[in-house]
Amino acid sequence: MVDRINTRIRGPIAAIKAWVFGHSYTARVTVTFALIAGLTAIVAMGVLSFVWEQHFQNYTHENIQALADRTASAIADKYEKSNGHALDIVNTTGKGTYPPLTMSDVSPASAAHTLNQTMGIQVVGINNTIVYDSTVVMTGSDALAPNKTQSLAPGSDATMAHADIMVNGTAIGRVNMWVYGSDVLLSKTDQEFRNRSYQAMAFAAVLSIVLASLLGFLFARSLVHPISRMTETAAAIKEGDLSARTNLEGDDEIAELGKTFDAMAASVEKDRELERRLTTDVAHELRTPLMAIQSTVEAIVDGVFEPDAERLGTIDAEVQRLSRMVDALLKLSRLENRTTPLNEEVVNVGEMIRLLAMSHEAYINEVGLQLVYEAEDDVVVYADRDLIRQATANLISNAVRYTPAPGTITVSVKKSDDEAMISVQDTGVGLTPEECTMVFGRFWRADSSRERASGGLGIGLSVVKEIVDRHHGWVDVQGAKGEGACFTLHIPLYDYERIKSMREKESIGAETLKGASRSSVEREGLIG
């Protein structure tokens, strides 16, 4: 039984789901807005109708009751004027009775009926004698009862308004009023007003549903339009147009999604361009050593050359060059594609570069050059120590390669208000202004023949630029032909307050800060 009931329930639910998801997003949002407006209108009309009906009935009942009170008061005044002498005797002697109401006394009731034709008025005298009834009709149709009458007054007092006719504090009669055909004392005019009020409510409900549907349609279109643009852009990218963008503007969530999508597309385009450049550059750069190896091997195989130590040394040198080139390209590719995470820490740049200069001093002196090291105190950054060291080492190696003996290489560390500056200056061949703009290009060489002889690959400066870019810095190069060149790395400073805040967020106590942090903070000269 339970399974049968569940099956019956699941059927309609599945049909509703199929209908909902079988239509467009715009249609679903429009229908949803219409349903919400309809339900809201139904609830509002129900509540409003209940409150309005109660208020309106009370209002009309009070109006009829007030009319009955005025009629009873007018009848009492006329009665007192007509029966003044008899009333004086009763009031002074306390004996006698009040005279009964007559038709002349109840003329105000007849006047009230004349003004309100849709209302029935009845005046009841002493001993419940009906003195006046505006609804009496003749019913006698035979000779036995030719003058028989019948009143159309309602049988229940609950459907009538009552007002006592008071004379000297004594009720001498009662005025009854009612509305023809109405149990709630609503006149024809009142009923028409009520019906028109309900018609206006129904019209307002229909209008609200229509407006809600229109607003839902416009709202859905406003949501669907940027989504459609992202869909079209994605399709264009899929077809190979990597330059396609949504170009959505604004501060809302969909605009932010569009901007993120464009950033992703730009990253894909950049990666594709890097891939294309890498393929082109590798094909170009590998061709020369491969041809040298191939020609040498073929000459040895053909017996043109003897496989002596010189020939084998040439092949080995080219193989080693190919190996270094592949390693450098892989490293550059990882930096460009952001696949290598940064192991950031607090770094005292002066101390790190000092150690690096000391490790290169012997090699520099061997090639007939002099190394000069200068550094300011407390130059601190938050960076990957190994990458910054590698970038500086690449600059030193480049300076050694292009500085003939005797020459000088100067490594300095300075700081400005917000940047740490690592400079490597040489007295070598120098660079022209045009070359300064090209020097960071992949496989670019100022002197190809000299570069190849010295074993350079033309990739080191590209690696330097990518490392600095990863740290949100920049590289400056200055030089003149025959006067040397100066490369400067600009890296944002990392202040002590930020370190302190970071430690506090990690809830590290004072002892931990003195102990564990000494290796990364105090050791770097931040804390005395």
So where are the chain's domains? 20-241, 244-340, 343-494
d(CA 409, CA 304): 46
Sign for the pseudo-dihedral over CA of 67, 68, 71, 73: negative
User: What is the arithmetic mean of pLDDT over 299-310?
Assistant: 77
Query: Is the pTM of the predicted complex or chain greater than 0.75?
Result: no
Q: How confident is the model at residue 256 (pLDDT cuts 50, 70, 90)?
A: confident
pLDDT at 421: 93
Alpha carbon distance 210, 272 (integer Å): 51
The residues near 96 (Cβ < 8 Å, ≥ 6 apart) are 86, 89, 90
Amino acid at the residue 380: V
CA atoms of 336 and 332, how far apart (whole Å): 6
Top mean-pLDDT range of 29-33, 42-46, 73-77: 73-77
Tell me, which fold does domain 343-494 have in CATH?
Answer: Heat Shock Protein 90 (3.30.565)
Give the DSSP H/E element, type plus range, for residue 473. none
CA-wise closest residue to 478 among 413, 408, 428, 430: 430
Residue 1: the pLDDT is 56
Task: Quote the crossing angle between the two packed helices 25-82 and 84-93, to the nearest 10°.
Answer: 80
Angle between helices 460-470 and 385-401 (to 10 degrees): 150
Question: Is residue 414 scored above 60 in pLDDT?
Answer: yes
User: Are 244-340 and 343-494 in the same CATH fold?
Assistant: no
pLDDT tier for residue 184 given thresholds of 50, 70 and 90: low
The β-bridge partners of 415 are 420
> Is residue 190 pLDDT above 50, yes or no?
yes
Residue 507 has pLDDT above 90, yes or no: no
- Identity of the residue numbered 405: A
pLDDT at 21 over 60: no
Reported as a single tens digit per residue, the pLDDT across 205-247 is 788 888 888 877 777 777 777 778 888 888 888 888 878 888 8
CATH number of 244-340: 1.10.287.130
Please state the separation of Cα 19 from the chain's center in Å.
Answer: 29
**Lowest mean pLDDT: which of 310-319, 356-365, 395-404, 477-486?**
310-319
Which whole-number Å values give the CA distances from 166 to 12, 70, 110, 126, in the listed order?
Answer: 70, 12, 19, 12
Instruction: Give the span between the Cα atoms of 325 and 105, in whole angstroms.
Output: 127
CB atoms within 10 A of CB 459: 21
What are the helix (H) ranges across 116-250?
188-238
Look at residue 32 in the predicted model and tell me its pLDDT: 80
- Closest by Cα among 314, 296, 332 to 460: 332
- pLDDT over 70, % of the chain: 72
Instruction: List pLDDT tens digits, range 135-171.
Output: 775 444 444 444 555 676 776 666 788 888 888 888 8
